[in-house]
Chains A and B, each alone.
Chain A
Amino acid sequence: MIPELGQFALILALGLALIQASVPLLGATRGRQDWMALARPAAVGQFVFVAAAFLVLCHAFLNDDFSVLYVSLNSNTALPTPYKIAAVWGAHEGSLLLWILILSTWTLAVTVGSRSLPEPFAARVLGVLGIVSVGMLLFTILTSNPFERLFPAAMDGNDLNPLLQDPALVIHPPILYGGYVGLAVPFAFAVAVLLTGKLSPEWARWTRPWTVAAWMFLTVGIALGSWWAYYELGWGGWWFWDPVENASFMPWLACTALIHSLAVTERRGIFKSWTLLLAITAFSLSLLGTFLVRSGILVSVHSFASDPARGLFILLLLSVITGGSLILYAARARHLTVEGGFRLISRESFLLMNNILLVVATAAVLFGTLYPLFLDALGLGKISVGPPYFNTVFLIPMLPLAALVGVGMHSTWVRMSGESLARRLILPAGVAVGLGIILPWIIFGRASALTVIGVSLGLWVVAAALLDPLKRVLRRGSAPIAFTRGQWGMTFAHLGLGIFILGATVTSSYNLETDTSATPGDRWEVGGYELVFRDIRQVDGPNFQATEGEFEVRRDGRLITILNPQKRIYRVQTSPMTEAAIDVGWGRDLFVALGDPLGDGAWSLRVQVKPLIRFIWLGALIMAFGGLLAITDPRYRAQRAQEKVQLSAQSVKTV
C-alpha cells in the first residue's frame, strides 16, 4: 500500500507542476495578479509531494520491501544501511526521482529567494521551472516508475552494483545532480527575460548567486566522481574522457563561462544576449548529459538498463526545452539594447577571451563525445575517440586561458594602460616562470616542455590569485586594499584552479606505474619505495568475500605503512571487484592494486606512485569554496539588494 502512496504523490506533484507551468506564465502575460500568485503555493506543494514520494522509496529500501521491483533489483537484506540509502538513487528510476527532488528543492529555494523580485518576473521564472518539472515528472511516471510492483515478491534482492557500494558514491549523485539541475535556475531566469522582452539592470545580480551555487555543486560532484574513479574504477587514473564524464564536464565549462559573462553583464550592462545564450546552453548541456547517460546509448556504469522509449522521451524533452528556448532567443534577443564599450586592454576584454576559450573547449569536447554516436546512429561504423584527442583539444584553449586568468584578475573595467598592468604583473610572472623551470628539475631531475609550461602556469595562477591578499597583509596599516566577499571568492576560485593545474601537470608528468608479478615473500623497489609482499589471505565482508594481500612499504629501511589491497567477490552479483590500497600523502599517493592469480602462487599487481595527485581534488574543493564565499556576499541578500536597487536608480537619475 505504501509504495502506491508514493506513486500517487508523484501524480499529484505532476498536477501541481502543470499548474505551476501554465497559470503563472499566462498571468504574467495578462497582468493577472491572482494567477501569478499561484506560482509559489504550487511550487511548495509540488516539493512536498515529490519529497513524500522520495521518502516512500527510501522507506521501501530501508524495510527491504522486495515486492517493489526497483528495490528487489537494487538492494539486498545484507546490504549495509548507508548503501541501502545510496541504492535509492543507484539505478535509473530512483536517480530520476532524485533529479526531480533536487529540481523541486531548487524551485523551493527560488520561491523563497525571489520574494524581492518583481511579481511578473518571479512568476515567469517559477513557470519555466514548472515546465522542466512537468517534463521530468511525465518521464518518470510514463516510462520509469520506481514504485512498480513485483508479483510474487522476491525472497531477497539482487543487491546494489558492487561498484556503487562506496562512501563517495553515496554522496556523488546528489551533489552532482545538485549542480546539473541547479543550472535550471539560471536557465529559467534567462527564459523569463526573453519572455519579458527586456533585461533589467538587476537581472544579472539576481542570477549570479544561483549560477555560482549550481557551479559549486557541479565542481564538487565532478571532483568526487573523479576521486571515486581513481580509487575504485580506474586503476589509478583520475580522468578518462569517458562520454559520461564529458557529460558532466561540458555543463561545468559552460557554467564557468556563464559566471564570468554574468560578471560583465552585472557590472557593465553588456554581453547581455551572450549571457542569456550561455545560460540556455549550460542547461541544455546538462539535459544532454542526462540524455546521454540515461538513454543507454553510452555504455558505462552510469547507463542503467537501456530502454529505447526512455531515450526517445528525453530526446524529445531536450528538443522541446532547448529548441523552444533557442527559438525564443532568436526572436527576442536582438531587442536587448547594449550600451557602453570597452578597450582592448580591460577586464571586459579578458573576460570575453575567457568566454571564447571556454566555449571552444566545450565545443571540442562535445564534438569528440557526439561524433562516434552520430556515426553509429547513421550506420557508418563503430569508432571511439581516444583520450589523446581530448587532451590535445582541451589543452589548446586551456593553456592561454590559464595564462590570461592572472592578467584578467588584475585588469580594471573599461580601460587600463598596458604599462601599469605589465608593471603589476611582471614580478609574479617572472617568479612563476622561473620556478616553473627550476622546480621540476630540482625535484624530479627531468622535465618536458609541457611540464614546464604546466607548472609555470599553475604557479602563475596561484601567484596572481595571492598577489592582492599578500599586498594587503604586507601593507597592513598604511593602505589596506578593501576586499569584498565576492573578491575573496574569485581569489579562492582562481587559487583552486592554480592548485589543480599544478596537481594535474605533476601527476601526469611524473606518475610511476608498474605492472608486476609477485609471490608472497618478494621485495622490490618502485620510485624510491621498497615494497614487501608479506602475505595473501581470505577475509569476509558483510556481503562479500575477499582475497587480501598484505604489503609493507618502506623507505630507507623505515616502515611507512602496510597496505591491504583486496580482490572482492560479492555474494549476490558474483562479480569480482578490485579494491586498491592507497597510502595518501600531500606529496604523493602510493597505490597498490591486486590483479589476478598467475599460477605458482604469483599475483599480478599494479603499483603506482602518483606525485601531487591530491592537489587535483584539493584544487577543485578550493574552487568550490571560492564559490561559497561569492554567494554569501552580503550584496546578494534580498533586502540589501533592494535598497541598492533604489540607490542605483537614484544615482542614475542624478548622473
Chain B
Amino acid sequence: MTPRRQRMILIGLMAVGVTISAALALRAFQENLLFFFSPTQVAAGEAPNERVFRLGGMVVKDSIEREPGSLTLSFVVTDYAHSMPVHYTGVLPDLFGEDQGVVARGKLDDQGGFVAEEILAKHDENYMPPEVADALARAEEAASQ
C-alpha cells in the first residue's frame, strides 16, 4: 500500500467512526433531555405522560405527610396558581422543607400526582432554583392579568 492509500484508509475509518458516534450521541441526547414544567403547565396538559421530566415549585406549608418510620412521603408542590401532590421514597436532601423551593425529577402517575425518583438538593437556604423562580413569576403574572 502506498502511504497515500494508507492515509485515505485512515481518513475513511475516522469518518465512519465519527458518523456512527455522532448518531449514537444524538440518540443519547434526545433520550436524556429533561424538560422542566411548573404545576400550571402540568395542569394545562403540557407535560408528557410517559416521560421523565422535572417539576418545580414551592412545598406547601403543612403538606408534608409521612407514615412514622417510613421512607415514603408525599407533599404538595405549588406555583400559587396550581398545585399537585408529589410522592417520593428515599432520603431527602438537606435543604428540603416547607415553604422552600423544590425541583423533583420523575413521572406523572395515573391519579394526577407526580412520582419523584429524585428530589434535587439546593445549596443554600436563600437560593431559589431559577426554574422555580421563573415559574412563580409567570404564575403571578397570569393571575394579575
A residues less than 8 Å from B130 (CB atoms): 299
B residues less than 8 Å from A349 (CB atoms): 10
A residues less than 8 Å from B10 (CB atoms): 344, 349
The verdict on B90 contacting chain A, using a C-beta distance below 8 Å, is yes
Per the bound structure, the CA–CA distance linking A577 and B70 in Å amounts to 22
B29 touches A604 (CB 8 A): no
With A386-B32, A392-B25 known as contacts, the answer to whether A516 contacts B71 (CB < 8 A) is yes
B residues less than 8 Å from A396 (CB atoms): 21, 24-25
The count of residues in chain A whose C-beta lies closer than 8 Å to any C-beta of chain B is 52
Taking a contact as CB atoms closer than 8 A, the residue among B7, B18, B31, B123 that contacts A163 in the complex is B123
Within 8 A of A (CB), among B74-113: 89-92, 94-95
Residue of A nearest to B71 (CB): A517
Residue of A nearest to B89 (CB): A515
B32 touches A574 (CB 8 A): no
Per the bound structure, the CA–CA distance linking A161 and B32 in Å amounts to 32
B residues less than 8 Å from A389 (CB atoms): 28-29, 31-33
B residues less than 8 Å from A367 (CB atoms): 29
Taking a contact as CB atoms closer than 8 A, the residue among B28, B34, B95, B121 that contacts A392 in the complex is B28
The verdict on A332 contacting chain B, using a C-beta distance below 8 Å, is no
With A386-B32, A389-B29 known as contacts, the answer to whether A598 contacts B91 (CB < 8 A) is no
B residues less than 8 Å from A397 (CB atoms): 21
The distance from the CB of B36 to the nearest CB of chain A, in whole angstroms, is 4
Per the bound structure, the CA–CA distance linking A137 and B22 in Å amounts to 41
A515 touches B25 (CB 8 A): no
A344 touches B68 (CB 8 A): no
A578 touches B68 (CB 8 A): no
The verdict on A364 contacting chain B, using a C-beta distance below 8 Å, is yes
B36 touches A393 (CB 8 A): no
The distance from the CB of A356 to the nearest CB of chain B, in whole angstroms, is 6
The verdict on A388 contacting chain B, using a C-beta distance below 8 Å, is yes
Residue of B nearest to A604 (CB): B91
With A384-B34, A392-B28, A599-B68 known as contacts, the answer to whether A344 contacts B91 (CB < 8 A) is no
Within 8 A of B (CB), among A547-582: 573-578
Q: Contacts A385-B32, A386-B34, A517-B71 known; list 8 others, CB within 8 Å.
A: A233-B121, A299-B127, A344-B1, A356-B14, A389-B29, A575-B124, A595-B91, A598-B66
Residue of B nearest to A349 (CB): B10
The verdict on A593 contacting chain B, using a C-beta distance below 8 Å, is yes
B36 touches A381 (CB 8 A): yes
Taking a contact as CB atoms closer than 8 A, the residue among B3, B17, B33, B121 that contacts A343 in the complex is B3
Q: List 27 A-B contacts (CB under 8 A).
A: A163-B124, A299-B123, A299-B127, A299-B129, A344-B7, A381-B36, A382-B35, A383-B36, A384-B36, A384-B54, A389-B33, A392-B25, A392-B28, A393-B21, A393-B25, A393-B29, A396-B21, A396-B24, A573-B124, A574-B125, A575-B125, A578-B94, A598-B70, A598-B71, A599-B68, A599-B69, A606-B91
Residue of B nearest to A300 (CB): B123
The distance from the CB of B18 to the nearest CB of chain A, in whole angstroms, is 7
Per the bound structure, the CA–CA distance linking A615 and B64 in Å amounts to 41
The verdict on B145 contacting chain A, using a C-beta distance below 8 Å, is no
Within 8 A of A (CB), among B23-78: 24-25, 28-29, 31-36, 54, 66, 68-71
B25 touches A381 (CB 8 A): no
The verdict on B6 contacting chain A, using a C-beta distance below 8 Å, is yes
Residue of B nearest to A578 (CB): B94
Per the bound structure, the CA–CA distance linking A381 and B131 in Å amounts to 10
B34 touches A575 (CB 8 A): no
Per the bound structure, the CA–CA distance linking A161 and B127 in Å amounts to 12
A593 touches B91 (CB 8 A): yes
